[in-house]
Amino acid sequence: MASQSAIQESLQSYKTTSTVDDFHSGGDGIGLALVKAVVEFGGHVAVIDYREVPHLDLCEIQDLHKESRVKYFSVDITNEMLVTKAFDGILAEFGRIDGVIACAGVCVEKPFVDHTWEEVVRLQMVNSVGLFFAVQLAVKAMLKNQPTSGDFTPKGSVILIGSIATESGVESQGLTAYSASKGAANGLLRGLAVELAPMGIRVNMISPGHTVTDMSISQFTNRPELAMIMRNAVPMGRMGDRRDLKGAAVYFLSDASLYTTGSNLVISGGLHAGRL
């Protein structure tokens, strides 16, 4: 068994080297939990979200962690000019970007044959196009970062938020359009990891399984049986909590992952391994 001092020394590697982490939609859901994870480890955060005013929980996070700066930017992620302006504002406010977590996502649940053109385009614009260009703007900023010390000091870290829905079909839900749009993160992951590795930027992905969020709760309101279906399918016997993802985000942003890139960490309670 490791001594307490050894454990504490090991945990130091999880201290985020990031000065500023940008969240492409951290206004609620999974993004909000990951904002909390970063500020708990001493990072500063810029949050991009569509809401005109930030979620009340975001204000609470700022009040509890006054040593960290949390700046909110209300932006339609599908509007190129507004997104570019937001990143200009982040750089003006903080001076640099060290990490980005691209977690914006919208979902339409219905049978494949019932999806409309407008719905699919909206899903693609938020979950695919918005993700791509938010990450691109963050990476452009990271490339200007100068290593502070040592040969392996990173210039930045990119975390894409995927979904287990891109790995396996969900028979109880009509998620074909959502799965197709979230598949963009899968397609981006490895190619971008290889391209950016020589430049000191790591690219990894977190793929949650069935997770309790504002989005899923609204689905349960319309379909109460869905919560039981999801819970019973998971080998660990419960749906994920947003807090289950916090450790993975801290790992990918911190020095503990300096030699990790191109990885997809599936956090599903074993659902990706098999269903009960």
10, 154, 174 from 149: Cα distances, Å = 20, 10, 50
Considering all CA atoms of the chain, what is the largest pairwise distance in Å, rounded to the nearest integer? Answer: 59
Q: What span, in angstroms and rounded, lies between the C-alpha atoms of 153 and 249?
A: 18
Rg of the chain, C-alpha, whole Å: 18
The reported pTM is 0.86
CA angle at 78 for the pair 72 and 79, rounded to the nearest 5°: 80
The owner of tokens 């569509």 is 50
H or E segment to which residue 31 belongs: helix 29-40
CB 168 within 8 Å of CB 162: no
Q: What span, in angstroms and rounded, lies between the C-alpha atoms of 160 and 184?
A: 10
* Domains of the chain, residue spans: 17-267
> What class, spelled out in words, does domain 17-267 have in CATH?
alpha beta
| Local confidence pLDDT in tens for the 276 residues of the chain | 433 343 344 445 555 444 555 554 444 578 888 998 899 888 899 999 988 888 888 888 888 888 888 999 999 999 999 999 999 999 999 999 999 999 888 888 888 999 999 999 999 999 999 999 999 999 999 999 976 655 566 789 999 999 887 777 666 678 889 889 988 899 999 999 999 999 999 999 999 888 877 777 766 777 777 777 777 778 888 888 888 899 999 999 998 999 999 999 998 877 777 775
CB 238 within 8 Å of CB 274: no
The string over 227-256, giving b where at least 16 C-beta atoms fall within 10 Å of a residue's C-beta and e elsewhere, is beebeebbeeeebbebebbbebbbbbbbeb
